[in-house]
């Protein structure tokens, strides 16, 4: 080999070694999809967006890894009465853009989140009637009625620099941030990634990782590794049912922990006909309006077998709408045991004794769920054909009321069952946002259920409120408004040299990342 050829080869090899052995300095999250935007009040419906924003911004309160409400920008709070909250602010909190946080910044942020036309937080604050600056470090929030759940919702109402937003408008969030969090946003390439840099002026002290990047790719996508910078160490979540799960297990170390996500079967309960059902005479009735049919569906499911087919060794069978650890979980409710004979008897006592056909809508992300459910329902006399849909088509079908039976999951991110009851179980009320994620009905088919949900929300005393939430849970389970199937187990894979502890709410925040030898 000539010296002319040898030198470039040696340099190339050295460059490769340099890349492989670069000191870790960037915590990288494979976040599955892109953020909606970076305005903390106009964005945040997508999980990825919340992960990014939680590193750059903070609310008055936060949730710790076990979902307990803890102080954040408010050092303490009190309730002078059931409709008043007062927050004593933490002193000497700096913004990424300069300046110190005051009560005026907090009041401006809450009002912006409450009234800005594009805000996604309006429903979270619909019960707020006013925000007052009582002093430089004291804020008062008044509500229309008692609202014990407000405190947990305030975690997502991020405080921004009033001066920065007044000066720059929407540009204050254009690839940058004006929050108080441990990281500041330094850039975004739409459709690819968001970059953050450690904010050394953070009131809680500096984080370990100097930089972070949230990549809009899943593990297994052809170009995901091209977006990992030199010195980057990677973490990602992978479903056991995913086609890349076996490769993920070879990638690096994995961390297991309980998840807040529950997989459930949902029904169309709106009217006497539903488009995905065909009766033996060819008509389109709606068997699911009959509680006995819904119970037959529940009894036809072997939740242990579903778990094995859907997720293998991971996760747990579910018998209620939230997992253990969530406020309002009822330990007295058992996981139902399969009883096909009983299911057939129930069906025989209804106008649908001859069975019926139904289209079962399943997201491609949860592909394995469809065949398992369809096979079990067939044993009870319900013939389900699986319709596998991508994300856009699946939610378009649900939103346009064209789905009769579907498999979906929800996550109680606040750690309070009130979230599930308000968003998924309550009848729809566009003025308040109640029932905004309810794809089954507009008006509750169970008399008094909405009133019980509202009553729990208005109850301030924790023990009394827990009892009321558990009452709602039992009522919903007895009526089989949804059929819980499975609780996910959080499974995070990390590069060698990286520790990233799992959180109960499944958020991967850069502040939690640790580099290890």
Q: Which of 439, 383, 434 has its CA nearest to residue 406?
A: 439
pLDDT band at 241 (very low <50, low <70, confident <90, very high): low
Q: Which of 176, 166, 205, 25 has its CA nearest to residue 96?
A: 176
- Comparing 107-111, 155-159, 217-221, which segment has the lowest mean pLDDT? 217-221
* Predicted local distance difference test score (pLDDT) of residue 7: 38
- Mean pLDDT computed over 229-252: 83
- Partners of 71 in the β-ladder: 61
pLDDT of 9 above 50: no
Joined tokens for residue 367: 């592909």
pLDDT of 242 above 80: no
Joined tokens for residue 162: 């009033």
Q: Which of 93, 71, 69 has its CA nearest to residue 150?
A: 69
- Mean pLDDT computed over 223-236: 92
DSSP single-letter state for residue 100: B
- Mean pLDDT computed over 165-174: 94
* Predicted local distance difference test score (pLDDT) of residue 33: 85
pLDDT band at 428 (very low <50, low <70, confident <90, very high): very high
Cα 263 from chain centroid (whole Å):
13
Strands 211-215 and 26-30: parallel
Q: Which of 42, 69, 68, 44 has its CA nearest to residue 54?
A: 44
pLDDT of 265 above 60: yes
CATH superfamily of 258-489: Dipeptide-binding Protein; Domain 3 (3.10.105.10)
Q: Do domains 26-252+495-515 and 258-489 have the same CATH topology?
A: no
- pTM metric for this prediction: 0.83
In 381-426 the beta strands, taken as DSSP E runs, fall at 382-389, 405-411
Of all residues in the chain, what percent carry a pLDDT higher than 90?
72
- Partners of 234 in the β-ladder: 28
* Predicted local distance difference test score (pLDDT) of residue 2: 42
pLDDT of 517 above 90: no
Q: What angle do CA 356, 357, 363 make, to 5 degrees?
A: 140
pLDDT band at 250 (very low <50, low <70, confident <90, very high): confident
pLDDT band at 6 (very low <50, low <70, confident <90, very high): very low
DSSP single-letter state for residue 310: H
What does the domain layout of the chain look like in residue ranges? 26-252+495-515, 258-489
In 4-126 the beta strands, taken as DSSP E runs, fall at 26-30, 61-63, 69-71, 74-81, 84-89
How many whole angstroms separate alpha carbon 458 and alpha carbon 480?
25
pLDDT of 19 above 60: no
pLDDT band at 504 (very low <50, low <70, confident <90, very high): confident
Joined tokens for residue 233: 């160490």
Joined tokens for residue 429: 């009320």
- Mean pLDDT computed over 406-418: 91
- Mean pLDDT computed over 320-347: 96
- Mean pLDDT computed over 347-361: 96
- Mean pLDDT computed over 444-453: 96
Of all residues in the chain, what percent carry a pLDDT higher than 70?
96
Q: Which of 296, 274, 284, 293 has its CA nearest to residue 398?
A: 274
Q: Round the average pLDDT of the chain to a whole number and report it.
A: 91
pLDDT of 414 above 90: no
pLDDT band at 22 (very low <50, low <70, confident <90, very high): low
How many whole angstroms separate alpha carbon 74 and alpha carbon 59?
8
- Comparing 3-7, 180-184, 324-328, 384-388, which segment has the lowest mean pLDDT? 3-7
pLDDT of 513 above 60: yes
pLDDT of 21 above 80: no
pLDDT of 18 above 80: no
Q: Which CATH architecture has domain 26-252+495-515?
A: 3-Layer(aba) Sandwich (3.40)
- Comparing 23-32, 51-60, 339-348, which segment has the lowest mean pLDDT? 23-32
* Separation in Å, CA 181 to CA 124, 206, 325, 326: 21, 10, 27, 26
pLDDT of 17 above 70: no
pLDDT of 89 above 50: yes
* Predicted local distance difference test score (pLDDT) of residue 5: 40
* Predicted local distance difference test score (pLDDT) of residue 16: 42
């Amino acid at each position: 080999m000539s010296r002319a050829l040898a030198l470039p080869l040696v340099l190339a090899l050295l460059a490769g070694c340099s890349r492989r052995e670069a000191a870790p300095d960037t915590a990288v999250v494979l976040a599955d999809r892109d953020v909606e935007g970076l305005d903390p009040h106009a964005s945040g419906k997508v999980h990825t967006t919340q992960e990014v924003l939680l590193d750059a911004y903070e609310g008055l309160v936060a949730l710790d890894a076990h979902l307990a409400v803890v102080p954040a920008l408010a050092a303490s709070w009190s309730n002078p009465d059931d409709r008043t909250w007062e927050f004593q602010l933490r002193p000497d909190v700096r913004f990424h853009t300069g300046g110190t946080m005051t009560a005026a910044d907090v009041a401006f942020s809450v009002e912006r989140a409450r009234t800005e036309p594009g805000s996604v937080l309006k429903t979270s604050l619909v019960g707020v009637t006013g925000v007052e600056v009582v002093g430089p470090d004291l804020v008062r929030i008044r509500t229309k009625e008692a609202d014990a759940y407000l405190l947990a919702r305030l975690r997502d109402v991020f405080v921004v620099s009033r001066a920065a937003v007044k000066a720059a408008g929407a540009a204050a969030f254009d690839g940058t941030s004006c929050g108080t969090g441990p990281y500041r946003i330094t850039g975004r390439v739409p459709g690819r990634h968001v970059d953050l840099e450690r904010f050394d002026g953070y009131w809680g002290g500096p984080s370990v990782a100097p930089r972070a990047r949230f990549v809009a790719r899943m593990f297994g996508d052809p170009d995901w590794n091209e977006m990992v910078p030199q010195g980057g160490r990677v973490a990602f979540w992978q479903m056991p049912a995913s086609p890349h799960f076996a490769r993920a297990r070879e990638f690096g170390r994995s961390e297991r922990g309980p998840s807040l996500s529950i997989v459930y079967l949902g029904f169309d309960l709106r009217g006497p006909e539903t488009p995905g059902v065909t009766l033996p005479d060819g008509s389109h009735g709606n068997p699911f309006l009959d509680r006995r049919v819904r119970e037959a569906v529940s009894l036809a499911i072997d939740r242990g077998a579903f778990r094995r087919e859907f997720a293998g060794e991971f996760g747990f069978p579910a018998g209620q709408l939230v997992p253990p650890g969530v406020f309002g979980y009822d330990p007295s409710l058992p996981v139902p045991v399969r009883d096909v004979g009983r299911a057939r008897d129930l069906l025989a006592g209804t106008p649908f004794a001859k069975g019926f056909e139904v289209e079962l809508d399943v997201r491609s992300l949860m592909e394995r769920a469809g065949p398992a459910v369809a096979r079990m329902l067939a044993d009870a006399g319900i013939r389900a054909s699986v319709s596998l849909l991508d994300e856009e088509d699946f939610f378009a079908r649900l939103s346009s009321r064209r789905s009769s039976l579907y498999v979906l999951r929800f996550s109680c991110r606040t750690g309070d069952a009130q979230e599930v009851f308000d968003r998924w179980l309550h009848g729809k009320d566009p003025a308040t946002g109640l029932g905004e994620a309810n794809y089954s009905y507009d008006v509750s088919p169970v008399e008094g259920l909405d009133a019980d949900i509202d009553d729990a929300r208005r109850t301030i005393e924790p023990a009394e409120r827990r009892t009321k939430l558990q009452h709602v849970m039992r009522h919903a389970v007895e009526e089989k408004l949804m059929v819980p199937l499975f609780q996910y187990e959080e499974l995070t894979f990390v590069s060698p040299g990286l520790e990233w502890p799992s959180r109960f709410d499944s958020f991967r925040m850069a502040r939690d990342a640790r580099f290890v030898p």
